[in-house]
Chains A and B, each alone.
Chain A
């Protein structure tokens, strides 16, 4: 499925803003992303498997809050990062 990558993570995807990845759940999709782009998962998901604060994952335009959400091959995933700070 199509996964949109925010600019802070594009150093992992060779600057691609859109990549293909697969998995029956968000967790599996992130594992596949990490297989393709080593290190990308830990920047988004902490060691307790929580989505890091200010990182957001949308499936077909709807925000999801955990990794156990089911996915279909036709889904479109947006990974977004809020920007703040100084």
Chain B
């Protein structure tokens, strides 16, 4: 009788958390049991393809998009409408407009090297998605990611080439447009981040854009307070209070209250030996004053590894007035991985689950907001991005 009861229970078990893991060699879905204790790996999807981001459409809970680049083949997007069981390529992947140079003209049209970021559109706009590319480009789909169009209001803005700089003004594998944020109160209100370029805002659904970088000081340009040209690594908007923005940038951790529109550096209270340089930033979905970062070594030649080879997350629960180290369960020494900007995330449960993936292919999870970490997968390829979602029933 007991076995029967257990079997019946397993048949009706509540679904777990699913981590959408994008790696240098393909995509994976890592799913937990209901209590987030046991984890199982599904995949790889599209083995050998470089996957920069995988994202779920929260409006249907089943459609996944995967940004893919295959060695030397052109970039594309794969779609699944059954949570990864089958995949189909987008009919028209993101691409810049074709430019026919006139004789004597030097500037040619841009070419998408890879799609780096995927963001589902507003809840009032089913089927709308945004994509950010390298080099910096913004694209929009209105049919669930099957066909994509260049957002002319950004990609052909008169200031575009001033904002994005040259191809060398970016990360080692190319400048990127990322952190596409949709205001949950207003589908017309968008933000994006560029490495390099800074943070930009549109209030007309992408037709026009303005820099939003006041206060975001930089230490790599002659002018420490430029209007644009910053390097925000990861920008987040709080879902409950969308007037609050955070960013982990190349030069520190910042917070902004709208509508004032001035970034305030909140990383100065981090320990001096750690600093406030890093890639990812994660917000608590129910508390706008709580967020996590994963610091890296940004000194001298920028090793981009955990400071001293001792990885740790840091949390603030008071909007940056104080920070607390969270390294329970993590290697105490000689751990030299990097956590990329898209490779740290949270689920929506209580207590909140936190997750990060490393350049050395490890997935770490905490079911208690970072107090204790457990390695739930290792030996995966280099991890570019993870998203935590509720697994379908």
Contacts of A81 in B (CB 8 A): 71-73
Contact of B93 among A42, A44, A53 (CB under 8 A): A42
Number of A-B residue pairs with CB-CB distance less than 8 Å in the complex they form: 56
Tell me the residues in window 57-86 of chain A with beta carbons closer than 8 Å to chain B beta carbons: 81-85
Residues B72 and A52 in contact, CB atoms below 8 Å apart: yes
B-side interface residues, number (CB < 8 Å): 19
What DSSP secondary structure best describes chain A's contact surface?
Answer: loop
CB of A36 within 8 Å of the partner chain: no
Given contact pairs A47-B96, A50-B111, A38 touches B72 in the complex (Cβ within 8 A): no
* Residue of B with least CB distance to A82: B72
CB of A8 within 8 Å of the partner chain: yes
Contacts of B74 in A (CB 8 A): 42-46, 52
Interface string of A29-40 (1 = CB under 8 A from B): 000000000110
Least Cβ–Cβ distance between B70 and chain A, in angstroms: 6
Contacts of B91 in A (CB 8 A): 38-39
* Residue of A with least CB distance to B112: A47
Least Cβ–Cβ distance between A10 and chain B, in angstroms: 12
CB of A5 within 8 Å of the partner chain: no
Contacts of B97 in A (CB 8 A): 47
A-side interface residues, number (CB < 8 Å): 22
CB of B301 within 8 Å of the partner chain: no
Least Cβ–Cβ distance between A41 and chain B, in angstroms: 9
Residues B71 and A49 in contact, CB atoms below 8 Å apart: no
Least Cβ–Cβ distance between A12 and chain B, in angstroms: 9
CB of A55 within 8 Å of the partner chain: yes
Given contact pairs A38-B91, A39-B89, A39-B91, A49 touches B72 in the complex (Cβ within 8 A): no
Contacts of B95 in A (CB 8 A): 42, 46-47
**Chain A interface (Cβ < 8 Å from any Cβ of B):** 8-9, 38-39, 42-50, 52-55, 81-85
